[in-house]
Amino acid sequence: MAVIARMLLRRVLILVPVLLGVILFVFVVMRFSDSKPEYAFFQGANPTPEQIHQFQVENGLLDPLPLRYVRFVGDLLHGNMGTSVLTKAPVLDSVTTALPLTMQLTFLGLGIAVVLSLVFGVTAAIFRDRWPDQVIRLVSLVGVAAPAFWLALLMIQYLAVGRGLFPTGGYINPADSFTGWLRSMTLPAVSLSLPVAAQLTRIVRTSVVEELDRDYVRTAIGNGLPPLVVVGRNVLRNALINPLTVLGLRIGYLLGGAVVIEQIYSLPGMGQLMINAVRDGDPAVVQGVVLTIAVGFMVVNLAVDVLYLLVNPRLRSAA
């Protein structure tokens, strides 16, 4: 545990400058974008130059960029992401309202991707170069090439509109109806997870095949241990080290892909919040959503690093 604690402390210290860099990047990009809060504030009206200037002075928009960046970081440290110029509501409130749905979608999709990749990846490795392996490799290749939004549209067309098995969109709170929540989240989570599952399947297959060719596996099976016991107890633990590394990066894909999927299925999550803010010219909300997703990606990768350390004893001894 002491080794894990030291590694975790080092990772956290590394994340601090990375986080400041992400904040700086988002801050600079938003300041040079076409989204101007002064114009969004007067949306639908014809403000005079004096009114625009007064708004800029009151909100510190004419201050030097370094000063505005320091003030912005200071506000973030106090839990203040700014205020929406359209709704006049704190951005943090909007983010905390939308974030749970995005997390539900992301981790439900992650769970589906992990289960599918383990089942099909291990199956393909066990039946290496036989017809189950060939079929799984072909399907996974198609899955890697298929974008999530295209799969989402196909599922809506054939499973929601065509057969009526699932709703075409919308969200039901699990507190109101767990069955309704599951039906409303199934198609979005599956369409989000399939490209990730396809990529992980190929990586799991390769890792398991390499592990099955090792001497200790042949020795264990030769000594009478059932192959399923050897695969489940030893092979999988060693073979999952490489897929874990890719999984951390793919979670970032899931978070980013949720932006598009939420829009397709009309889910009121972070993606829909950001797209609406971009459309309405509300830079504070866009800034808050992007920073939240970036921080979430960093936290998830930190958790994957810890998990990677737990399953790899050699790394623990090296640390």
d(CA 71, CA 307): 36
pTM of the model: 0.82
Q: Check residue 313 and give its pLDDT.
A: 59
Q: DSSP labels for 131-153? A: HHHHHHHHHHHHHHHS-HHHHHH
| Section 270-279 average pLDDT | 84
Q: Check residue 108 and give its pLDDT.
A: 92
Q: Check residue 3 and give its pLDDT.
A: 64
pLDDT band at 163 (very low <50, low <70, confident <90, very high): confident
> If DSSP codes are grouped into helix, strand and coil, which group holds residue 177?
coil
Q: Check residue 4 and give its pLDDT.
A: 66
Q: Which amino acid, one-letter code, is at 169?
A: G
d(CA 73, CA 284): 13
Q: What is the largest CA-CA distance in the chain?
A: 87
Task: Count each helix (H run) and each strand (E run) in the chain, helices first.
Answer: 15, 0
pLDDT in tens, 101-156: 998 998 899 899 999 999 999 899 888 889 989 999 999 998 888 888 888 999 99
